[in-house]
Amino acid sequence: MSKRIKLTEEGARILENMLGHFVAETTGVYAALVSSSDGHALAQWSQSELHGSKLSAMSSSLLALGESLSRESGQQACQYVIVETLDGFLVDLRVGERMVLTVLARKDGSLGLLLSACHQLAEELSSRIRKE
């Protein structure tokens, strides 16, 4: 059985819609991307210009590193990799086994709420993809 991920146009449109909703409704969030676990860009929604393929590859690396770091430190499964900057936050987390969600946010809202919203979106994306 092939393990390839190939989104149909319809599938990509559904993902983008979900990302669009999320960006519109979550305080501070201005962009969200879904990538494959190995760094291919699958879908994105952004209020500004983004280099999606670059961010996808880097998110894949960063999340993989975060997971390795958790493992090597003897901690349980890595939930998020969070980068805090002067301007805001970058959050990476898994969507199921084979995808990565990347969320970019300004510092308007609280980090706790942001993480919780990200987690919920990942669950929704994951169950939606299982259905597709």
Partner 1 sequence: MSELKFIFTGPPGVGKSTAIAAVSEFAPVVTDVLATDELSDIKAQTTAALDFGEITLDDGEKVRLYGTPGQRRFSFMWEILIEGGLGLVILVDNSRPDPLADLDIYLENFSGFIRDTGAVIGVTRMESHPQPDLDDFAAHLERHGLALPVLEVDIRRREDVVQLLDVLMMTCEPA
Which residues contribute to the site for partner 1 (CB under 8 A)?
2-5, 36-40, 53-54, 56-58, 60-65, 67-68, 72, 97-98
Nearest distance from C-beta of residue 57 to partner 1, angstroms: 4
Nearest distance from C-beta of residue 4 to partner 1, angstroms: 6
Helices within the chain (DSSP H only): 9-25, 52-72, 111-131
Cβ atoms of 84 and 69 within 8 Å: the answer is no
Nearer residue to partner 1 within complex by CB, 80 or 117: 80
Nearest distance from C-beta of residue 64 to partner 1, angstroms: 4
- Decide: residue 66, CB within 10 A, 0-12 exposed, 13-18 middle, 19+ buried: middle
Nearer residue to partner 1 within complex by CB, 63 or 117: 63
Q: How far apart are CA 113 and CA 64, in angstroms?
A: 24
Nearest distance from C-beta of residue 83 to partner 1, angstroms: 14
Pick from 125, 112, 129: nearest CA to 26:
112
Nearer residue to partner 1 within complex by CB, 53 or 79: 53
